[in-house]
Amino acid sequence: MRNTFIIIGIVLALLVVGAWFYLFNVDSHVKASIEKYGTAITGVAVNVGEVKIAPQSGEGKITHLVVANPPGFSIPASFSAPEIQLKLDLHSISGDVVKIHELTIVAPDVYVEQNTAGNNIHMLKDAIHAFLVAHTAAPNATLTADQTAQIGKRFIIESFTMQGARLHAHAPLVQAEVVTVPLTDIQLNGIGLDSGGVQAAQALDIIMEQIHTSINQAVVARNLQNMIEVDETPNEGGIVDKIRNFLTR
C-alpha cells in the first residue's frame, strides 16, 4: 500500500512539473505552431519574430509576423504585422480545442500585387482552400494520421480584430509606383464557437475573406481614387479601373 502511494505521489509530481514546464515554455510552442501550420496551410513561409505570453494571465504579444509571397512576385511579403495582441485560455492549450479570448492584429501591412502570373492574394486564398479540401474528411471518411497531424488543434476565437491596416497595391504592368491606402478595421466574434472549434485553416479562411472585403472597399473608396488618379479627367480603362479590376476580379 505504501509503495502504491509513493508511485501515485511520483506520478502527480511529474504531472505538476510537466504542466509547469509547458506553461513556462508556451512562447516557444505558440511560435513553432504558427510557423509550422501557417506554412503548411498557405504554402509559403510564415515566420514570427518573438512570442511573449504571461503564464499567469495568458495575455501576450506576437511580434514581427511575416507571410511570404508565392514565387514570382517582386514584393517579398504578402502580409506583415509588427504586433499581434492576444489573450489565451491557458487551461485549453493542452486540449484539442484552444480557446483564444482576444486576438488583435495591430497596424499590419497587406501587399497586393498583380503580374503576369496572377494575383498574390488570390493565390494564397486558393492555397488555403486546397489545404482545406485535402485535410477535411468527407461525412463518412476518416483522416489519415498525416492529415490529422497537419491539421493540428481546433480553435475558438471569441474576438478577432484587425485595426490600423494599410494596403499596398502594386501593379507593375500598369504603373511603377506602389499605391498605399488605409484598410477598414475588421471585427469578428465567435469564430468556431457554434461548432466547438474550427481548424486553423478554417479560421484563416474566414479572416482572409474579411480582409479581401476590406481590400475591395479600399479600392473603390474615394481616398484610393484621389491617390492614383494622375489625370484630371480619368476615363474608363484608366489606372483606377485597371487596379480595381485586378483587385476585385
> For residues 212 and 133, what is the distance between their CA atoms, to the nearest angstrom?
20
**85-114 pLDDT, tens digit each:** 999 998 888 788 999 999 999 999 999 887
Encode 155-213 in three state secondary structure.
EEEEEEEEECCEEEEECCCCCCCCEEEECCCEEEEEECCCCCCEEHHHHHHHHHHHHHH
Considering only residues 245 and 227, tell me which one the structure prediction assigns the higher pLDDT: 245
pLDDT-derived band at 181 (thresholds 50, 70, 90) equals: confident
Nearest to 184 by CA among 153, 221, 231: 221
Q: What is the mean pLDDT of the chain?
A: 78
Domain ranges of the chain: 2-248
pTM: 0.77
- Alpha-carbon 157 to chain mean position: 12
Nearest to 60 by CA among 36, 94, 31, 19: 31
Q: CA Rg, the chain, in Å?
A: 22
**117-176 pLDDT, tens digit each:** 778 888 998 999 899 888 865 444 455 555 455 466 899 999 999 999 999 988 777 777
The torsion of the CA quartet 146, 148, 152, 154, rounded to 10 degrees, works out to 170
Considering only residues 244 and 38, tell me which one the structure prediction assigns the higher pLDDT: 38
> For residues 118 and 116, what is the distance between their CA atoms, to the nearest angstrom?
6
CB–CB of 243/173 below 8 Å? Answer: no
